[in-house]
Amino acid sequence: MGEGRRRYIPQKVSPAEEFLPKVVILLFVVIIAVPQFRKIIILGAIVAVALLIVFLTLFVFLKYYKKHIKSKTLLTVKSEKRFYVQKSILTEAEKKFHRTLVTAVPEALICPKMRVADVINASAKYGGDFNSISQKHFDWVLCHPVSFEPLIAIELDDSSHSWQSTQHRDAVKNEVAQEAGIPLMRFNWKPTYDTEDVRNKIAVILDQIADAIETKQNTP
């Protein structure tokens, strides 16, 4: 033999590689020969196909949901209003007393729901004094009809004013109003109000304010 010819060296086959084809042939023969195995294989194939269909259906649905339904949901959420106008700034009880005030003191400018910090100034704008009044309000403030100067603060006390939290709030407003020098009148809630009685009580305070202004003007 010439030196250029290569000798054929057969490749070694592992026992597993040699055994696997025999096992496959044996299983095939068993499936053909034994009907029970055929039923099992057919049933397994049906289950596999059903699982594949379910998987593909779920995949298509998720893809569609991500593209269409989810985007529509986001648009719906974004289109919903975050803010809306109240039907009324006063409760039914407050409306009734407001009408009484308008009738009792028609010459005054009656402003409901006035924030305390808009009526009374705190020396420390960004300190504890301001914070103590910035989130509180007077139920009504009677103002001068021309200058809009606050003259009297009014509170309508219902059953909630017996609560401890409300009493603390009331105490703060009482203290602040007294120190600032604005009269704070309190009226108890009633099913009905005597307009004349309300007018007389407010008139007493207005007369005191007028006397104080006159005395101050006459003081050299």
**Domains of the chain with CATH codes:** 15-79 (no CATH), 92-218 (3.90.1570)
Report residue 8's pLDDT band, with 50, 70 and 90 as the boundaries.
very low
Kindly state the average pLDDT of the residues 158-166.
Answer: 72
Report residue 219's pLDDT band, with 50, 70 and 90 as the boundaries.
confident
Task: List the structure tokens of 141.
Answer: 């403030």
Helix (H, G, I), strand (E, B) or coil at 135: coil
pTM > 0.85: no
pLDDT in tens, 67-123: 665 555 554 555 678 888 999 999 999 999 999 999 999 999 999 999 999 999 988
Kindly state the average pLDDT of the residues 176-183.
Answer: 96
pLDDT in tens, 19-32: 666 666 766 666 66
Strands 109-115 and 137-143, sheet pairing: antiparallel
Kindly state the average pLDDT of the residues 151-159.
Answer: 92
pLDDT at 62: 80
What is the percent of the chain with per-residue pLDDT over 70, rounded to a whole number?
72
More confident residue, 80 or 207: 207
